[in-house]
Amino acid sequence: MRKIRFLCLAILTAAWGCSGADGAPGEKGDEGPDGERGEKGDDGPAGQDGQDSDPPVAAISAVMPSSVVQGETVAITVLGEDTSFDETTTVDLAGGLTVDAVVAGSPEWLTVTATVALDAEVGGREITVTTGDQVLTLPDGLVVIELAPELSISVDSLAAGQFAYAVISARDSVFNQFTSAEVCSGYDEEGACIAAEDLLFYSVELNDSQHLSFIVQVDAFAEDGSVDFVVNVGGSRYALTVPITPTIPAELAENDIVSGNIEEENGLDAYSFTVDEVGRYTVQITPSDADTFRPHLEIFGPVGGFVDGLYPMIDVLGNLAAINATEAGVYTVVVSDDFNDGVVGGGADGYSYGIQLSGSEFPDLTSDLEDDDTATVAGTILAQQIDIYRLTPSADSTVTFDVTDGEEITALTDSALTLYDAAFVEIAGVDDNWDSGDENLADQALTGGATYYIAVEGPCYIDFFGGGMICGTGDYTLTVTR
């Protein structure tokens, strides 16, 4: 029976397809080809509108000078940025200022010539520059200053022989590149300045808009009087009067050492000595403290004592000054502190020093030259030394004097050659200004029987680059040819 049943099941299965269990999944097949591109989607929303870039903005960038004074005529420079200045440009400086001319140097630079009325309102004012449709303004671009500035000067008086530094100060900023200054002793019928004869020289410097500085040197022989320090501002002249007092020099005897002391800034000491017989004179000053006191020596010849057109002042910075006193009379020595420029002052203790005069008459320094067609002599020059030779030609003749330096190591570094007559009045001279020790004084007409002197010396110069006073020294040969 059991076999029959199994057989029946087999037959039924074969006839009806009985279900079996699921099988394991197969491997993934290859990817198929890309599908077709889809349709374009709808447009997105519109973005915000963009902004335009800002154009350059024209403007007035500077006005020079930025201030003017009542009553003056002035050139004003106006600078711009991204401007279009041209020949049609006009300028308005507001009430009280008249525009005389406008010149455009470039699209961003122009010059305005303007006159400031005497009654122009003081203070800042707006500047307007117009070029076609371009109108530019600068509030308070120009300041008008009152015509009467308050001025003061740093010195109360000047002394004869003084080398002084003086400063004029203004309460307001009134000085500019158009400001001028001078020193006057008076004024002519037309009001022009008469130069102060009591001043040997002066210089002026514009320090800033409120300060002008003067360096002045007063003649050692100036008497009681005064000078005006004059400033020209805005077409008007302002004078500050400073009195001048004479200096009474102390006597300086030969070979005596005299003690002195400069107690004040811009101070000075004065001495005098008398020359009866012409000669070579040396003044030596020894400061007590050479590190702080740099003495300045000046030697003035007799009053009105010009010598053959040469100014009778020897100006030497250092401890020693030597002169050829070729004129009899009273000489004046002025001692001051470092050019009296106000930079170095004596302070509480002042500047103490010793000063000494020494001299020799020219005949005592003289050697005779032979009266030959050619005469030669050798010599040596030390610092501040002079050699003098006497020549008396037997007949009228034309003479040439030559100085040549000696051996290379001891050669005269610089020389000066001077010819004098019998009274030691200079006839001719030559100095090559530190070029060499060689000098030539050619074709000098000498009278037979007359006496002449030829002087050889090593001149001194100031080395302003730290070398101090440098004098020619060394060996030389003097040749006289007829």
Domains and CATH numbers, the chain: 59-145 (2.60.40.10), 151-245 (2.60.40.10), 250-360 (2.60.120.380), 369-481 (2.60.120.380)
Percent with pLDDT over 70 in the chain? 75
CA distance 436 to 370: 27
φ, ψ dihedrals at 365, nearest 5°: -100, 5
Predicted pLDDT at 14: 40
Predicted pLDDT at 79: 95
Closest alpha carbon to 278 in 387, 367, 363: 363
How do residues 194-238 score in pLDDT, each as one tens digit?
988 888 767 888 999 889 998 888 887 788 889 999 998 766 788
Predicted pLDDT at 406: 62
Predicted pLDDT at 132: 93
Is the distance from CB of 478 to CB of 402 less than 8 angstroms?
Answer: yes
Token pair of 407 as six digits: 């051996």
Over range 329-347, report the average pLDDT. 63
Beta-carbon count within 10 A of 27 CB: 4
* 345 has pLDDT over 90: no
* 371 has pLDDT over 60: yes
Kindly state the DSSP code that residue 319 receives in the 8-state scheme: S
pTM summary value: 0.51
Beta-carbon count within 10 A of 237 CB: 17
Percent with pLDDT over 90 in the chain? 21
Predicted pLDDT at 2: 44
| Lowest model confidence (mean pLDDT) among 102-106, 315-319, 416-420 | 315-319
pLDDT band at residue 88 under the 50/70/90 scheme: very high
pLDDT band at residue 90 under the 50/70/90 scheme: very high
| Lowest model confidence (mean pLDDT) among 92-96, 128-132, 275-279 | 275-279
| Lowest model confidence (mean pLDDT) among 78-87, 125-134, 213-222 | 213-222
- How many Cα atoms are found within 13 Å in the side-chain-facing hemisphere of 242? 25
CA distance 288 to 349: 11
Length of the chain: 482
CA distance 479 to 288: 44
Alpha-carbon radius of gyration of the chain: 48
* 143 has pLDDT over 50: yes
Predicted pLDDT at 433: 57
Predicted pLDDT at 47: 64
Please, which residues have CB within 8 angstroms of residue 158's CB and are 6 or more apart in sequence? Answer: 164, 216, 218, 227, 242, 243, 244, 245
Helix (H, G, I), strand (E, B) or coil at 172: coil
Q: What is the mean pLDDT of the chain?
A: 78
Find tokens 């005064």 and name the residue: 226
CA distance 324 to 307: 11
Beta-carbon count within 10 A of 41 CB: 6
End-to-end CA distance of the chain: give it in Å, rounded: 183
Predicted pLDDT at 6: 39
pLDDT band at residue 75 under the 50/70/90 scheme: very high
Burial state string for 434-472 with b = 16 or more CB within 10 A and e = fewer than 16: eeebbbebeebebeeeeebbbbbbbbbeeeeeeeebbbb
The most distant pair of C-alpha atoms in the chain lies apart, rounded to whole Å, by 194
pLDDT band at residue 313 under the 50/70/90 scheme: very low
Predicted pLDDT at 416: 82
Q: Order across the sheet with 236-245: list the strands.
A: 158-159, 236-245, 225-233, 180-187, 193-195
* 317 has pLDDT over 60: no
Please, which residues have CB within 8 angstroms of residue 91's CB and are 6 or more apart in sequence? Answer: 78, 99, 102, 110, 112, 127, 128, 129, 130
Which of 95-99, 283-287, 349-353, 375-379 has the largest mean confidence?
A: 95-99
Predicted pLDDT at 434: 55
Token pair of 150 as six digits: 């308050």
CA distance 64 to 74: 10
φ, ψ dihedrals at 338, nearest 5°: 50, 55
Which run of H or of E encompasses 156? Answer: none
How do residues 246-290 score in pLDDT, each as one tens digit?
888 889 988 889 998 887 666 778 898 998 887 888 888 888 876
| Lowest model confidence (mean pLDDT) among 131-135, 207-211, 228-232, 301-305 | 301-305
Predicted pLDDT at 109: 94
CA distance 394 to 448: 5
CA distance 161 to 220: 4
